[in-house]
Amino acid sequence: MKVDGVGKIVEGVNALEAALNSNRVKKVIVLDTKLNKSNKFNFLIEDIKKQNIEIEIVKDNKLWKFHSRHNIVGICEEKKIFDEKNFENIISEKILILDHFQDTNNLGAVARSAAAFDFQTIFLPKKRSVQITEKTFAISSGGMEYVNIVMYNSIFSLIKKIKNLGYWTIGLNMNSSNQIKDLDLKNQNIALIVGSEETGLSKEIQKKLDLIVDISMTNNMESLNASVATAIAMHEIFIKK
């Protein structure tokens, strides 16, 4: 099913539960299968009924217009997306800036980790970047509901704005001699900047940042998946702050 607007279709129990908590859900569609539903599924249905939200039952698999992995979907109010011109009032002490991520799974996984580690704002470029889709919401397992998304034009102008707001800009790069585990963050507001899955952060971007850090690991593997590396970096910052 095609519904225009970011986050208007939310698939899966966890993502729908989070959207329900955000008061975005207008209607729920359920595939009535013979399989036993989980306790979490049944509790979610009860919550939906208590809120008097319309529930549509689809009894034929052939009529199911959504991903076959899920048997419950919410039709929701669009999630608000912010622009770099008006983000100052919604950012927190820890923010994440992504530079041209290309994989939907990685973006969803990063959003989930950001919510877990209290990075309440994620910046995404408007061009040459993965788009936010219903799959992003499903992969994030509800994480997308707990982060603010800000779209930006130029990462260079964004970094300048972020620095002017008093943020310490930290870039993640696997070839740095500085280890993120050794950081002394004190009371600094932190902006973590992560490059694309293929090329990482360009040298030009790295020169604009306060510090470039790496993640400690054995020599068995050359690198980590982008979402995994980002999650580890956010966790390191989380425990230090």
Confidence tier at 174 by pLDDT (50, 70, 90): confident
Q: Are 170 and 75 in contact (CB under 8 A)?
A: no
Long-range pairs of 63-68 with CB within 8 A, sequence gap ≥ 24: 64/31, 65/1, 66/1, 66/9, 66/11, 66/29, 67/11, 67/134, 67/135, 67/138
Q: Give helix 39-50 / helix 13-21 axis angle, nearest 10°.
A: 30
Given a cut of 90, whether residue 32 has pLDDT beyond it is no
Fold of 82-240: Alpha/beta knot (3.40.1280)
Same fold, 9-76 and 82-240: no
Confidence tier at 1 by pLDDT (50, 70, 90): very low
The pLDDT assigned to 2 comes to 44
Could you report the per-residue pLDDT of 118-135, keeping only the tens digit for each? 999 999 999 888 889 999
CATH number of 9-76: 3.30.1330.30
Could you report the per-residue pLDDT of 177-229, keeping only the tens digit for each? 788 888 888 788 999 999 988 888 999 999 999 999 998 877 776 778 899 99
The pLDDT assigned to 38 comes to 83
Show the tokens assigned to 1: 């099913």
- What is the sign of the dihedral through the CA atoms of 175, 181, 183 and 185? positive
> E-strand spans in the chain?
9-11, 25-31, 54-58, 72-76, 82-83, 94-98, 121-125, 148-152, 167-172, 189-194, 211-213
The pLDDT assigned to 218 comes to 77
Could you report the per-residue pLDDT of 75-117, keeping only the tens digit for each? 999 999 998 887 877 888 999 999 989 899 999 999 999 999 9
Residue spans of the domains in the chain: they are 9-76, 82-240
This model's pTM is above 0.85:
yes
Given a cut of 60, whether residue 36 has pLDDT beyond it is no
Q: Are 78 and 195 in contact (CB under 8 A)?
A: no
What are the two backbone dihedrals, phi and then psi, of residue 236, each rounded to the nearest 5 degrees?
-60, -45
Given a cut of 50, whether residue 3 has pLDDT beyond it is no
Q: Which residue has the tokens 């952060």?
A: 201
Q: Chain-centre distance of CA 190, in angstroms?
A: 17
- What is the sign of the dihedral through the CA atoms of 83, 89, 90 and 91? positive
Could you report the per-residue pLDDT of 42-83, keeping only the tens digit for each? 999 999 999 999 999 999 888 999 988 899 999 999 999 998
The pLDDT assigned to 165 comes to 92
Given a cut of 90, whether residue 19 has pLDDT beyond it is yes
Could you report the per-residue pLDDT of 131-172, keeping only the tens digit for each? 899 999 999 999 999 999 999 999 999 999 999 999 999 999
